[in-house]
Amino acid sequence: MENFQYRNGELFAENVSLQSIAETYGTPCYVYSRAHFEARFSEYTNALSGCEHLVCYAVKANSNIAVLNVLAKLGAGFDIVSVGELERVLAAGGQANRVVFSGVGKTPEEIARALEVGIYCFNVESEAELERINNVAGKLGKVAPISVRVNPDVDAQTHPYISTGLKDNKFGIDIARAPEVYARANGLPNISVQGVDCHIGSQLTDTTPFLDALDRVLTLVDELAGRGINIHHLDLGGGLGVRYKDETPPSTADYIAQVRARLGDRKLKLMFEPGRSIAANAGVLLTKVEFLKLNEHKNFALIDAAMNDMIRPALYSSWMNLIPLRPHQNTESRRYDVVGPVCETGDFLAKDRELCIEEGDYLALCSAGAYGFTMSSNYNSRGRAAEVMVDGETPHLIRARETVADLMRGEALLPD
């Protein structure tokens, strides 16, 4: 978290004190560093220089339009999974012809909108979807560019909920069936075969599963070429891990160098769909300690953020670092479970943490820039948090905290 550092006993985001942000905008509040998004995105494009490429940021990781706009200005493409994400990209100034559309359940309306704005490619996840895209494109008098998302059956060695490249997962088409599916696609009048796609999982901390998947995909590309079906691009999805605690994921540069080395003399445009590796360490979630509840066997720190603001610890048992904005020198250290106000035992952000804290203190949950706000909900009728992006010396409010009126918008009483 290079852009979040202590200075004179106080935690900063770039050149802005996080305590001042907490006091100005209230808590819970997500705070992002613009510089971090830019640096991480540029690592991808730098590592790909000299090779035709498109880096499509995975919008699901953090879809605030200010984040998308910062990346669009660097020439980013975008990986989307819904028409909502597509409209966000367009509203943020992203280019439709740099968008890839992933996801297993694309509706006819979503496909039509993507064709209307002219996206770069559909990542097709099933044979039924291929037929649907062909039909919708036919009705609109268009030809849809597609890749087949193949499932290479490799174990990404990550949490089972975020592993996607095994035969048992719902994603993609079994790589063994892929040649037949490509043959079918090639014969459809409103389909244009462009590439091959795979995404095997998220938070990978070793390159071996990526390279195993790549080898299988390259074998497929060669086999298709032998059958006269030429693949122009290779989309390797996202998945590169980050450090939450003590993980040592490969650097983006190393990962991409290893991929490039395996391509040999094949002339393939290289595409990636990174989410977490760009966004996770670009953000923190600020929260306030409301009460300290010291029980006989356990101490609880009750904070104002909850599982509705950040569900990763509850859903995946994720460990995320929790640090004070202004560490105390003389406060007693105790071991706490750090829990929110939601009425669920699973509502915790951290367990068994040694902390020197007092009521009223502010804390930062680290590495919260990816799959934080985007997975938040209104459970317990809690408004979603504010989001702030720091740019050098300046904090910008990029999403206002939800109000009670926001919570009831669109609801209606029955008539008397």
Q: Tell me the pairing of strands 386-391 and 394-399.
A: antiparallel
Where does this chain touch ligand LLP (CB under 6 A) — which range of 29-37, 132-140, 231-239, 251-259? 231-239
Q: What is the DSSP string of 48-92?
A: TTTS-EEEEEEGGG---HHHHHHHHTTT-EEEESSHHHHHHHHHT
Site for ligand LLP in 100-119 (CB under 6 A): 102
Asked if 4 is part of the footprint of ligand LLP (rule: CB under 6 A), the reply reads: no
Is 239 labeled as ligand-binding? yes
User: Which lies closer to ligand LLP via its Cβ, residue 79 or residue 361?
Assistant: 79
By CB under 6 A, name the one of 143, 162, 176, 323 that touches ligand LLP.
162
List 29, 56, 343, 366, catalytic entry: 343
**CB under 8 A, 24+ apart: contacts of 106-110:** 106/132, 106/133, 107/83, 108/132, 108/135, 108/136, 109/83, 110/82, 110/83, 110/86
# residues near ligand LLP by CB under 6 A: 20
For residue 35, the surrounding DSSP H or E stretch is: helix 34-47
Q: Which of 36, 199, 233, 384 binds ligand LLP (CB under 6 A)?
A: 199
Q: Any known ligand binding at 379?
A: no
- In the complex, which residue's CB is closest to ligand LLP? 238
CA pair distance 341, 352, nearest whole angstrom: 18
Q: Which of 233, 276, 353, 384 binds ligand LLP (CB under 6 A)?
A: 276
Q: Which stretch in 66-74, 106-114, 198-206, 350-358 sits in contact with ligand LLP by CB under 6 A? A: 198-206
349, 337 contact by CB (below 8 A):
no
Only one of the segments 41-49, 256-264, 270-278, 337-345 lies at the binding site for ligand LLP (rule: CB under 6 A); that segment is: 270-278
Residue 249 interacts with ligand LLP (CB under 6 A)?
A: no
- Is 276 annotated as ligand-binding? yes
Is 25 labeled as ligand-binding? no
Question: Which of 11/121 has CB closer to ligand LLP?
Answer: 121
CB 259 within 8 A of CB 47: no
Q: Which residue, 310 or 355, has its beta carbon nearer to ligand LLP?
A: 310
Binding of ligand LLP by 275 (CB under 6 A) = yes
Rg over CA atoms, the chain? 23
CA dihedral 81, 194, 183, 237 (to 10 degrees): -40
Is residue 202 close enough to count as binding ligand LLP by CB under 6 A? yes
Q: Is 274 in the site for ligand LLP (CB under 6 A)?
A: yes
Rounded CA separation 246/249 (Å) = 9
CA 196 from centroid of its chain's CA atoms: 21
Best CA proximity match to 321, nearest among 373, 249, 243: 243
DSSP state of 305: -
Residue where the block lists tokens 């605030």: 64
Give the range of 17-25, 273-281, 360-368, 398-406 binding ligand LLP by CB under 6 A: 273-281
Choose which of 233, 312, 353, 384 interacts with ligand LLP (CB under 6 A): 312
Residue 36 makes CB contacts below 8 A (sequence gap 6+) with 2, 3, 281, 282, 369
* DSSP-based three-state secondary structure for 122: strand
3-state secondary structure 139-187: HHCCCEEEEEEEECCCCCCCCHHHECCCCCCCCCEECCCHHHHHHHHHH
Kindly tell me which residue out of 14, 43, 85, 273 binds ligand LLP, with binding defined by CB under 6 A: 273
Q: Supply the minimum distance, in Å, between the C-beta of residue 249 and ligand LLP.
A: 11
Q: Toward ligand LLP, which CB reaches closer, 241 or 340?
A: 241
Judge whether 249 and 31 are in contact, CB under 8 Å: no
Reply yes or no on whether 343 is catalytic: yes
Closer by beta carbon to ligand LLP, 61 or else 390 = 61
Binding mask 65-84 for ligand LLP (x = CB under 6 A): --------------x-----
Strands of 202-317 (E only): list them: 233-235, 269-272, 283-294, 299-303
Is residue 310 a contact residue for ligand LLP (CB under 6 A)? no
Catalytic residue list: 343
Binding site listing for pyridoxal 5'-phosphate? 239, 273-276, 371
Q: Given the rule CB under 6 A, which residues bind ligand LLP?
A: 58, 61, 79, 102, 162, 199, 202-203, 237-240, 273-277, 312, 316, 371
